[in-house]
């Protein structure tokens, strides 16, 4: 990206510009369709049908009905309506630190937001389950079966709700929790949760607004990391779907869609699925395939993982945790609340590198760049972080504790200490997965 002074910035955060800022193929597709026709989506256009077919082909066959809308928030709000109508129930189970959108119905199911409101009371129809975090959570890697343990928490919530005469409409979760701290659920967790929820008459909503469209590298959708035997009842998507153009989609089963139609209330969206939006969506899918951006996500994400692992071993300020390929690394379990990560971000911004921090303690550096992010981009940002951490550790008087080599050959670290031998909790670093520098110069209006 470039600012008004033509200064270059490395964008490590803009997952909306999924295939790169102002990608010429996407720009051309939108421009050409605008020259031909854009109209109220009440009038059927070939682009709508073609795009629905292309999108559905990336998903399990069961997910076959598309509703096109205009934002991730609108998609998740519609998903709740589908769940309420299909089940006849009202209650929703969400996760700790979850964020699903900015409209009223979604603030209610977003602890990431409603816990910030002074004096706010949790909606009686909303139940908050433990985040399936095997790094900082209640059940960690050393637990014999964290997937089952976290799923049992959802089962307990359902049982408690039933005792109060309440019924569960849906469980909703991001396939990989983003704002909540880049949490990757243990394999098998979604399958077990879905079983408990469906046994209670509810359905499973997978929110792919931030993590879909090849970002996880090995698969096109984040929920597919759980295994081929897991299929949600509803999938929502947004952000990267239009490379910055406002569009999104809800895809569900024919059974859910038919029950929704049986309500007698016609669903209509003026702009959802309009010819221009669908032309842009088709172009984004074409670019992902033509430039093998999913493969690039896997390749560069793995390389970035390696670089960050090396950084973790070198610096006492970096959390000692796993780095999942093509997503993000967690911060230290006992992290200082946000101070040093935010300081790092300010220094990086001064060096024209854009990153963000997130998680409940704001101690995770979150990488979510466009998918064209390169090995050279990864080397540059890690080099800058390395220098910043070195300078900070000198300023703070931190020294790396002696490494301890475990019996299986893996290196484990003690907590870092200062010159007086006092232990300091580390501050997290993270990594996400891929994408970036612009195909055209993109003016950065606010810095």
Q: How many domains does the chain have?
A: 2
What's the pTM value of the predicted model, to 2 decimals?
Answer: 0.85
Residue 227 lies in a domain: yes
Residue 3 lies in a domain: no
Residue 405, φ and ψ in degrees, nearest 5: -95, 120
For residue 293, give the H/E element and its range: helix 293-314
Tell me, yes or no, whether 282 and 304 share the same domain. no
pLDDT in tens, 75-115: 999 999 999 999 999 999 999 999 999 999 999 999 887 77
Residue 5 lies in a domain: no
Tell me, yes or no, whether 266 and 162 share the same domain. yes
pLDDT in tens, 187-246: 999 999 999 999 999 999 999 999 999 999 999 999 999 999 999 999 999 999 999 999
Tell me, yes or no, whether 388 and 286 share the same domain. no
Distance (Å, whole) CA 84 – CA 172:
13
Tell me, yes or no, whether 58 and 206 share the same domain. yes
Name the pLDDT band for 316 (thresholds 50, 70, 90). confident
Percent of the chain with pLDDT strictly greater than 90: 63
β-pairing verdict for 91-95 and 126-129 = parallel
Nearest to 103 by CA among 73, 65, 68, 125: 73
Residue 320 lies in a domain: yes
CATH assignment at residue 400: 3.90.1150
pLDDT of residue 60 exceeding 90, the answer is yes
- Out of 290, 319, 336, pick the residue that ends a domain: 290
Tell me, yes or no, whether 74 and 109 share the same domain. yes
CATH assignment at residue 100: 3.40.640.10
Q: Which residues form the domain of 157?
A: 24-290
Residue 16 lies in a domain: no
Tell me, yes or no, whether 203 and 268 share the same domain. yes
- Out of 224, 257, 290, pick the residue that ends a domain: 290
Residue with token string 């937001």: 113
Tell me, yes or no, whether 285 and 314 share the same domain. no
């Amino acid at each position: 990206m470039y600012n008004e002074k033509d200064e270059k910035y490395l964008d490590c955060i803009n997952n909306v510009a999924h295939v790169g800022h102002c990608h010429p193929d996407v720009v051309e597709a939108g421009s050409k369709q605008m020259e031909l026709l854009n109209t109220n989506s009440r009038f059927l256009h070939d682009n709508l049908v073609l795009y629905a077919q292309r999108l559905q082909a990336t998903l399990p066959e069961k997910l076959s009905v598309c509703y096109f809308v205009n934002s991730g928030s609108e998609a998740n709000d519609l998903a709740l309506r589908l769940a309420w109508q299909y089940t006849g129930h009202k209650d929703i189970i969400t996760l700790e630190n979850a964020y699903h959108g900015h409209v009223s119905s979604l603030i209610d199911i977003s602890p990431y937001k409603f816990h910030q409101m002074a004096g706010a009371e949790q909606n009686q129809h909303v139940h908050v389950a433990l985040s399936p975090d095997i790094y900082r959570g209640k059940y960690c890697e050393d637990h014999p079966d964290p997937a089952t343990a976290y799923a049992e928490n959802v089962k307990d919530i359902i049982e408690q709700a039933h005792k109060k005469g309440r019924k569960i409409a849906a469980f909703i979760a991001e396939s990989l929790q983003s704002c909540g701290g880049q949490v990757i659920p243990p394999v098998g967790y979604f399958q077990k949760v879905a079983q408990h929820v469906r046994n209670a008459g509810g359905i499973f909503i997978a929110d792919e607004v931030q993590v879909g469209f090849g970002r996880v590298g090995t698969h096109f959708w984040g929920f597919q990391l759980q295994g081929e035997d897991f299929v949600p009842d509803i999938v929502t998507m947004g952000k990267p779907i239009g490379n910055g153009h406002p569009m999104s989609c809800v895809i569900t089963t024919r059974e859910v869609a038919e029950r929704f139609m049986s309500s007698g209330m016609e669903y209509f969206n003026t702009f959802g699925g309009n010819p221009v939006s669908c032309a842009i969506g088709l172009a984004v899918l074409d670019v992902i395939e033509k430039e093998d951006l999913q493969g690039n996500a896997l390749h560069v994400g793995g390389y970035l993982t390696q670089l960050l692992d090396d950084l973790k071993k070198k610096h006492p300020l970096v959390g000692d945790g796993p780095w999942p390929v093509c997503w993000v690394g967690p911060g230290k379990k006992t992290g200082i609340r946000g101070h040093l990560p935010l300081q790092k971000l300010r220094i990086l911004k001064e060096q024209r590198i854009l990153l963000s921090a997130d998680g409940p303690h704001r101690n995770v550096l979150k990488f979510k760049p466009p998918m064209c992010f390169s090995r050279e981009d990864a080397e540059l940002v890690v080099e800058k972080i390395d220098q910043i951490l070195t300078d900070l550790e000198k300023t703070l008087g931190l020294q790396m504790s002696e490494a301890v080599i475990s019996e299986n050959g893996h290196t484990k670290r003690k907590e870092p200490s200062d010159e007086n031998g006092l232990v300091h909790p580390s501050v997290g670093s993270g990594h996400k997965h891929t994408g970036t520098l612009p195909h055209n110069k993109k003016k950065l209006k606010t810095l």
